Structure 1
Amino acid sequence: MKRRNFIKHSASIALGTPLVVGSLSSFQETIKEPSIKPKALYKNDLIGITGPAGSIWNKAHIDKIVGILKNLGYRTKLGQTLYEQDGFLAGNDEMRAKELMEMFEDTNIKGILTMRGGWGCARILDMLDYEVIAKNPKVIMGFSDITSLVNAIYTKTGLVTYHGPCGYSSWDDFTTDEVIKNVVLGEPFTMKNPDDNKDDLKTWTGGKASGKLVGGNLTVISSMVGTSYEPNWNNKILFLEEIKEEPYRVDRMLWQLKQAGVYKQISGLVIGSFRKCTPEEPDKSFTLEEIFAQHFTNAPFPVYQGASFGHIQPKFTLPIGIKVEMDADNFTIKTLEKTVIS
């Protein structure tokens, strides 16, 4: 069977079950604007932890996140991918795709937490059965390389997904509270930076805008342009973050979004952490600040910089597919609807 074939709904959820594949269903054409919300997480719910991207180099992080979730009142089911390595990946593509699908199909599992980013999610997008995912909606969360997975699932199914901490992340009190607001409580709330994380806040173009959230890591988002997993940008609030990319690379990716027509469609832009995005040779480069100024000074939509998400702590959890209002002058993002259903 070819690696590009799609995983189909198997009769069993056991990890060792043979991979069953079939042809692409018509359902898996991009669905423009559906909305499916997962059920809220409750105490004693079972959380599946999987590695759809990079290998888990530091196994101590597995015990750490199990302990964190246990203290929050949840049980955990650990995927075999957490202990695998295939080059830089947490197991081969078939294993990672199959395990993720099994976690969606397993009715005992109420939420899915990805262990880390790295690279690898884009390799399995063609192997997922989006019809099965839509029929088994549940919380799925992660960031960095997980950007492609959570946006693809939303684009293909309308299932609200969550750009938030991975198992590898630092789950400080603020970060944990933001997760709970999204996937446990679910009531509308406002995202505002903590007092000790306001130095980088800056308005490039003022005003308010509303729309559904899409976005994540800039490198990953720009790589999705032109694919069938590219988000529908119309009237969206786009959020972007990055780490360890020189200003010229950031500029290149922002130009790609512009030339692809993204800026003509979105309603607003929120820029998160761009940590360690400094030039190796400053005298031969624009600064990151100058790049942002070139792109977003007097933009035709509100833009602010420095929101608390991305490769930093503490961080927001941003619900992809939920309608929000952003305020570029007061540096806030306010959800306008429930982020989960009871």
Structure 2
Amino acid sequence: MEKHLIVTQDSDKSSDEVCSWFYRHGVHFKRLNLDSYKMIDRNNDLYFDYFNFDSVDISIPGKTEVNDENLAKKYTSIWYRRPRANFDNMVIDQTESDLSKILFDKIKSNQKSELRELYEYIFNSSLHGSVVLGNRLKTRVNKLEILSLANRLGICIPRTKVVTKKSQILEFQKEVNNSLITKSIFEPIFAIDNDLEQRHISYTNELTDSILEKIPNYFSPSLLQEKVEKDFEIRTFVMGENFYSMAIFSQNNKKTAVDFRKYDREKPNRNIPFTLPEELKAKIKKLLKAIDFNTGSIDIIKGTDGKYYFLEINSVGQFGMVSKPCNYNIEYHIYKYLTRNEEKTS
């Protein structure tokens, strides 16, 4: 019987590596992929099970019954690695329907929303674990709210504004007496153009004079921050009380100086293990507790002024980029966190 549950996606390689430790030590576990709403052959390896809504019976008030072994018992541990369900592949039978495309698309969108509401209720009422890593329903936080909260907790952040006019940009420049950078208020854009075989990714960029000249007088609300002069960048993966930090010397390369995600494959950044100051770790723990996270990847800048500037947190961000260069073996430590040194069962 499986005692450990990993809620993730089929395509997540970090989950694959953690699962390999369960296999290596012979500890039973269940992996629940939420890539799409679809049926999977039950005779297949349970490792590849997907979530589905078959035979759901709910009475309110009353009992919730789900005829799905994934949700049928209390687990020793649950890791909500990537717990966001995807209902995009749900199909509405339109074979005998005269619905217009507009109405059909609206109904499909509404049904996806209804499935999402049901999914959240089922997960809240059915899944329980003695050890829980991650948040079952919350995978992100508002970028503006987290900056505000960090500031209230005494964590240094870059001076930040959201503006809609070019004149506000110029005023902000004078206020900080420094260069400005701009980044997405929400998530970065990532798009693939298969026809042209191109990838389009939005990065953090400096507002240079040449860019400012092209900006119109009025535009959509945009996030600006004071450009912090970097000593180096830090990516920290937090798991419970444990911090795994990596210093990224991105400022030594013009290509990566503003955003280290503009990877230079020919001249990679130097990455080394790093230890955050205890005072900063204590404040980050308070921040995580306030947003109900016990794990996540955090981006920080160590400024040339000696200060540590908090940028953002991603609860489901990749941690392999920290684990491997620093030889932390985070995947193994996640396994140990979930199993609590459990003895081999087979």
- Scaled to the shorter chain, the TM-score interval is under 0.3
In the superposition, the TM-score normalised over structure 2's length comes to 0.24
